[in-house]
Structure 1
């Protein structure tokens, strides 16, 4: 297994959860772990269940090359627990589905499999740390999420975290040599810091 030398971009002590760190994904070092997460049934809404480890690495190499899209491996007290992604909404397919405002930053979150029983406050603690990171970026004025419209648990979690629900939209298919994303029905959700 390859070891990444990338440094965390955000470290935060979350009460009741521990120390949460966000480190840019190293496609070669992290592909096997990410592949093990995205191909599980519980990750079906992520849209990569049939992907090979090589394809996962290629996808995150593409993300790594971009200046508008970023992927982070999230650790809690050193243990990998989630995959977090941010992107400029004006430079993503979501920009075709709603009126993008300056400073709109999109987010994706995939919580990794847990060991043992689910912990109360775990997801909300992670979301709080992610919002702290994203909102600390000078360019972010509003956070935009677009979970699969069928993912009722994710939508409910966003509402509990202070997001306001927007319309249901259809994200268009992307079919490029380096990445293919099928069309997807998504539910928009918005977090504006001045409203919370």
Structure 2
């Protein structure tokens, strides 16, 4: 069961931005018990193979997100555009995650995962504009000055998106479930990109 747009109207909003030509973008906390239908539909589609849950049952997926919801260091969100859920967005503290053992993690780092929902309508330049908003949110968090990502090294589409968003690719590392390509974006690097694009 997919939850309806009006169900999001009373959600706490952690970030909002008015995007010209798009409407109102909101980031709201995921509520596993309420959002399981939507999330299960997204993560088990073949297009989400790099998310690693295509063979999971509904109960498996619910258990994972209930566990994440119990942590202070990992957070899951839905990205809402004018009432429609368009992405699953997760943040985490690398020092409290297995990826933190694969590189010199710092307290100032914040990790992220992003899964776009199946497209229901064409939105020009959707991914880079969405990424910019998510980056703004993460850099609005106190004490965070570097974003860390670790997509599957075989995920060519994700790697192209990272480079288009000015992430610097780091080493390829072996994590328990995958060979991952590390990528990094600093606050100063993002500010420089924003300044150039505004000229």
1:168 counterpart residue number: 172
1:71/1:30 CA distance change after superposition, 3 Å: same
Greater relative contact order (Cα < 8 A, sep 6+): 1
> CA shift at 1:32, angstroms?
0.8
What are the ranges of 5 or more consecutive residues in structure 2 without an aligned counterpart?
A: 191-199
Q: Is contact 2:93-2:107 (8 Å) kept?
A: no
2:188 counterpart residue number: 194
> CA shift at 1:16, angstroms?
3.4
**Superposition map of 1:103-182 within 5 A:** 103-116=108-121, 118-172=122-176
TM-score of the pair, normalised by structure 1: 0.90
Provide the rounded CA distance (Å) in 2 between the counterparts of 1:73 and 1:114.
15
Q: RMSD of aligned C-alpha atoms?
A: 1.5
1:81 counterpart residue number: 86
**What is the CA deviation profile of residues 27-53 of structure 1, one whole-angstrom value per residue up to 9, with x for unaligned ones?**
000011000000001100000001111
1:176 counterpart residue number: none
1:177 counterpart residue number: none
**What is the CA deviation profile of residues 54-97 of structure 1, one whole-angstrom value per residue up to 9, with x for unaligned ones?**
11111111011000000001111110000000000000010111
What are the ranges of 5 or more consecutive residues in structure 1 without an aligned counterpart?
A: 173-182
**What is the CA deviation profile of residues 89-137 of structure 1, one whole-angstrom value per residue up to 9, with x for unaligned ones?**
0000101111112301000000000014x43310111111110110000
* Higher share in helix: 2
